[in-house]
Every structure is written in structure tokens, then in C-alpha cells.
């Protein structure tokens, strides 16, 4: 048998799987726009947001689409405010929000103005009060300083008062003399011991003399001369020593205790 007579096996073919289509990334949806096609003149449907002009009055909240700046409802001048919204309700909501902001701003401004005004008023009042108090204090201090002499001057003034009282007690008519002897009146012609005694009497009675002068100056109803004479009669002008004890001797010849100036007994 020849090789040509051997049946050849049939060739089989495997079916190839069909090629899968390539994956393509999908684009996100685009917003619709109003568009006119140049090929077939077809117009795609679009979604368009339309806004309108609304005018609301800031005085009475009147709403209109008239662009007149003055309100036709309350006649307020330049009170209309523009809102561009898709509906009148949205315009009213925006207007309410705006007015609330304005009110809050006005309240804040008013509070700040009141606080500033109160602070200014308080500061002014305090400054005025302090200035008035200071001026009053200074005036009182000046008046007091004018009425109060330094001690050394006060002593000389009171010595003059004491000297005049002694003259009135010893010889009141000497002041009416057209040619008085000042050396005699001032005790300059007296003995040294008498001069020392006269000055010692003044020094020992200094506090009492000062108090008498205060009483005289504080009493405006009585005559000054009468008060001087009255004070002269009450002030002791001599010091006497009896049994080694010092006493004051008054014009009425009464002995007073040297320390307390209380009446002791008549002097004879």
C-alpha cells in the first residue's frame, strides 16, 4: 500500500473568541446650554436661569419692578433698593436679610454712640467736679491762710492788744491826750524789774488773751470798743507774790490762781 492511499487526517480549526470592544471613559454630563447646530439647524433644549429686577423700599418694604428711586407708596426719596432674583419671594427674603443687617448696624452704632456720650458726660462731670472741688479747697485754704498769722507775728499783734488793754486800765484818758508820752505808755520809763514783770504777765496770759481776741472777732453784734474794755477788765495785768505763792491780780483787786486763773479771794 502506498503512502498515497493513507487517508490524511482532517485539519481542525479552533474558533477564535471575538475581540472585545475597547473600553472608553465616559465624559461627565455637561450642563445644558442654549446652542444652535450649524449642520441641520436643530436647536437643543436648554435650561436657563432667568433673573428679574425687583425694587423694594427701605422705609415701608413696598415691592415693585419700577426703577424709580423714589417710593410711590410712602413717597420716601431715594429709598428703593435693587434686587436681581429669579422671583419676587427671593427678592423679599434678600431685602429682609439686608434690613436686619441695617438694623443691627444701627443698634450697634447707637449703643456705641450712647456709651461714648455717657463716658464723655461722666468724664466732663468728674473733671468739673474735681475742678470745682479743687478751686473751693484752694479758696478755703487761701482764706484760712489769710486769717491765720504765723506764730511770731501773732504774738506781736496780741502784745499790742495786751498793751492797749493795760493802758485803758491804768489811764484811759491818756489816749485822748493830744501829746501822749509813748515811752511812758509802753512802760519804757519803768524800772527794769517792772518791765520784765509786764512782759512776763503777757507771756503767762498769752493763751487767754488769744482766746479773748477770738471771742471778740466772732461776735459781730456787740461793739468792738465795748468788747475790748470788757476783755481788758477780765485779763489780769499784774502778778503778785503772797507768802511765796504767785497770783494774778485783776483790775478789780481780785486774786486769781496763777495756774487755773480761778477766783481765790479779794486782794486788800
In three-state form (DSSP H/G/I as H, E/B as E, the rest C), the secondary structure along 119-175 is: HHHHHHHHHHHHHHHHHHHHHHHHHHHHHCCCHHHHHHHHHHHHHHHHHHHHCHHHH
Do 130 and 157 lie in a common domain? no
Final residue in a domain of this structure, among 102, 123, 144: 144
- 227 or 105, which is more confident? 105
Predicted pLDDT of residue 15: 55
31-45, 98-112, 120-134 — which one is most confidently predicted on average?
98-112
Half-sphere exposure of residue 189: CA atoms within 13 angstroms, side-chain side: 5
Do 71 and 119 lie in a common domain? yes
Domain membership flag for residue 73: yes
Tell me: pLDDT of 244 over 50.
Answer: yes
Do 83 and 123 lie in a common domain? yes
Do 132 and 177 lie in a common domain? no
Say if CB 95 and CB 60 are below 8 A apart.
Answer: no
Predicted pLDDT of residue 80: 94
Backbone torsion region of residue 187, taken as left when φ is above 0, otherwise alpha when ψ lies between -120 and 50, otherwise beta: left
The whole-angstrom separation of Cα 36 and Cα 28 is 21
Name the DSSP letter for residue 36: B
Q: Going by C-beta distance under 8 Å and a sequence separation of 6 or more, which residues neighbour residue 78?
A: 69, 70
Domain membership flag for residue 250: no
C-alpha grid cell for residue 120? 464723655
The whole-angstrom separation of Cα 219 and Cα 199 is 28
Domain membership flag for residue 254: no
Q: How many folded domains does the chain comprise? A: 2
For residue range 48-89, what is the model confidence (pLDDT) as tens digits? Answer: 678 899 999 999 999 999 889 999 999 999 999 999 998 889
55-59, 117-121, 257-261 — which one is most confidently predicted on average?
55-59
Distances (CA, A) of 224 to 34, 221, 233: 118, 9, 14
Domain membership flag for residue 190: yes
Final residue in a domain of this structure, among 92, 110, 144: 144
Helices (H), the chain: 88-147, 151-170, 182-185, 192-204, 206-218, 224-234
Hey, what long-range contacts does 260-264 have (CB within 8 A, 24 or more apart)?
Answer: 261/208, 261/236
C-alpha grid cell for residue 166? 493795760
Final residue in a domain of this structure, among 100, 122, 144: 144
The whole-angstrom separation of Cα 121 and Cα 14 is 108
Domain membership flag for residue 9: no
Domain membership flag for residue 7: no
Considering Cα of 143, then 144, then 148, then 150, what sign does the dihedral take? Answer: negative
Do 113 and 167 lie in a common domain? no
Do 78 and 130 lie in a common domain? yes
Domain membership flag for residue 21: no
The arrangement of strands across the sheet holding 52-57 comes to 63-64, 52-57, 80-85
Domain membership of residue 206 as a residue range? 151-235
Predicted pLDDT of residue 34: 42
Do 99 and 165 lie in a common domain? no
Domain membership flag for residue 111: yes
For residue range 25-58, what is the model confidence (pLDDT) as tens digits? Answer: 344 433 333 444 445 555 555 556 788 999 999 9
Name the DSSP letter for residue 176: G
Amino acid at each position: 500500500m502506498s503512502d498515497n492511499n493513507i487517508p490524511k487526517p482532517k485539519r481542525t480549526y479552533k474558533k477564535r473568541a471575538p475581540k472585545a470592544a475597547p473600553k472608553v471613559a465616559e465624559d461627565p454630563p455637561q450642563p445644558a446650554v442654549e446652542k444652535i447646530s450649524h449642520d441641520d439647524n436643530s436647536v437643543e433644549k436648554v435650561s436657563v436661569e432667568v433673573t428679574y429686577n425687583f425694587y423694594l423700599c427701605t422705609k415701608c418694604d413696598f415691592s415693585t419692578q419700577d426703577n424709580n428711586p423714589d417710593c410711590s407708596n410712602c413717597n420716601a426719596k431715594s429709598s428703593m433698593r435693587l434686587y436681581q432674583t429669579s422671583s419676587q419671594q427671593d427678592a423679599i427674603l434678600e431685602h429682609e436679610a439686608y434690613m436686619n443687617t441695617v438694623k443691627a448696624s444701627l443698634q450697634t452704632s447707637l449703643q456705641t454712640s450712647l456709651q461714648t456720650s455717657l463716658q464723655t458726660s461722666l468724664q466732663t462731670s468728674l473733671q468739673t467736679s474735681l475742678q470745682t472741688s479743687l478751686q473751693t479747697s484752694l479758696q478755703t485754704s487761701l482764706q484760712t491762710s489769710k486769717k491765720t498769722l504765723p506764730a511770731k507775728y501773732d504774738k506781736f499783734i496780741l502784745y499790742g492788744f495786751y498793751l492797749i488793754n493795760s493802758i485803758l486800765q491804768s489811764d484811759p484818758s491818756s489816749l485822748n491826750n493830744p501829746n501822749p508820752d509813748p515811752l511812758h505808755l509802753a512802760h519804757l520809763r519803768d524800772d527794769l524789774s517792772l518791765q520784765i514783770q509786764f512782759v512776763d504777765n503777757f507771756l503767762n496770759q498769752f493763751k487767754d488773751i488769744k482766746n479773748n481776741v477770738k471771742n471778740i472777732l466772732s461776735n459781730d453784734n456787740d461793739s468792738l470798743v465795748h468788747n475790748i474794755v470788757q476783755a481788758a477788765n477780765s485779763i489780769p495785768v499784774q502778778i503778785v507774790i503772797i507768802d511765796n505763792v504767785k497770783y494774778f491780780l485783776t483790775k478789780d483787786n481780785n486774786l486769781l490762781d496763777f495756774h487755773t486763773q480761778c477766783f481765790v479771794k479779794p486782794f486788800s
